[in-house]
Structure 1
Amino acid sequence: MDDTDSAILSHLQRDARLTNRELARLVGIAPSTCLERVRALRSRGVITGYHAAVQPRLLGRSLQALVFARLRPLSRDVISGFEAYLSQLPEVVSVFVVSGDDDFIVHVAVPDIDRLHAFLMDRFSARREVVSFRSSVIYQQTNVRVMTPLDGHEHGAGR
């Protein structure tokens, strides 16, 4: 990663719909160079995809919450199975396997408090491996849209 790669990533994270020509102009390099740089970032796995940001409220999901869950017995198979189960549920936005008191943090988006309650009772309580869970309603969310390399991690360091 050098300054040019970082600039390309910053611009694409702000607007992934930029054409190669627009991106090259913004970064100050030739379009052919820009195309090769983006291809290299994709082949190295730095860029993993492009997606549209959506407004959950406008999709009928006015209530978002984080659900913290503890599982037992704790094994690779139990964790993998629960993660796969959660990932196919339409209410689930993100799944995090974490360390500490909880084993999972699950970001959900639902229409209202009744649907959150039903989700918790029907989806979490129904699972034998879940020994406890708690939820926190999200009042506000700020998305940081641009991620850049941290000092000491440029040029492949820290891999």
Structure 2
Amino acid sequence: MQLDRTDFELLTLLRKNARMPNKALAEAAGIAASTALERVRRLRQLGAIQGFHAEVAPAAVGIGLQAMVSIRLARHSRRGFDSFREHLLGLREVLALYHVAGSDDFLVHVGVRDSNHLRDFALGAFTERKEVAHIETRLIFEFRRNTELAILREDDLRSKR
């Protein structure tokens, strides 16, 4: 995917505020509004922009406790992995999931009402599943999303020096 400085500027601005009106976006990027509109459309078509999301206050939807659950699978097969991943994605308490390397296979960010809900959820959603060998739960005291855009492609890093 070939992106230039203008594309990176648009991505940076949208990462900080995805609801920024096109006119303001264009002005901040130093380009015409029609150019901004076409660039953003192209970035979506290329897959550089994968979606726009609202950051919802957990308390507004009844989430009083968040946790990160490490899950180790009993066996590693494509079918078992795919089945368990789909199971996770179907659970309303799962806010995000990460397939990771190391001693665990998944890190699962969950949102629940309280500690009783967390216990019942972990027992039903994880420990009763035959694919699961081990879980470990860590409470999350604070979550903040970094709105800065990490641009780490080598050719882009060299051009910024």
Relative to the length of structure 1, the TM-score reads 0.92
Say whether 1:25 aligns with 2:49: no
Alignment of 1:7-156 (within 5 A): 7-150=9-152, 152-154=154-156
Identity %: 39
CA drift of 1:52 comes to 0.7
Aligned length: 155
CA distance in 2, matches of 1:123, 1:150: 36
Q: State the Cα RMSD in Å.
A: 1.5
TM-superposed deviation, 1:119:
0.5
Q: Secondary structure at the match of 1:93?
A: strand
DSSP-derived class of the 1:64 partner: strand
Q: 5+ residue gaps in structure 1?
A: none
Unpaired stretches in structure 2, ≥5 consecutive residues: none
Conserved in 2, the CA contact under 8 Å of 1:63 and 1:111?
yes
Kept after mapping to 2: 8 A contact 1:70/1:102: yes
Is the partner of 2:56 in helix, strand or coil?
A: coil
TM-superposition CA deviations, 1:30-79 (whole Å, max 9, x none): 11111121112111110011111111122110100000111122111111
Which range is displaced more, 72-81 or 143-152?
143-152
Q: What's the offset of the Cα at 1:116?
A: 0.3
Quick one: which amino acid aligns to residue 22 of structure 1?
A
Instruction: Quote how far apart the aligned CAs of 1:95 are.
Output: 1.1
Structure 1 counterpart of 2:58, which letter?
A: P
Rounded Cα–Cα distance in structure 2 between residues aligned with 1:52 and 1:153: 32
1:103-133 CA-to-partner distances (Å, cap 9, x unmatched) read 1110000010000000111111110110111
Moved over 6 A (4+): none
> Hey, which of these two has a bigger chunk of helix by percent?
2
Q: Hey, what's the Cα distance between the residues in 2 that align with 1:49 and 1:128?
A: 34
Closer, same or farther in 2 for the Cα pair 1:22/1:106, shift >3 Å? same
Structure 2 length normalisation: TM-score?
0.91
Higher RCO (CA 8 Å, separation ≥ 6 residues): 1
The offset of 1:153, in angstroms, is 4.7
**How many angstroms does 1:148 deviate by?**
3.4
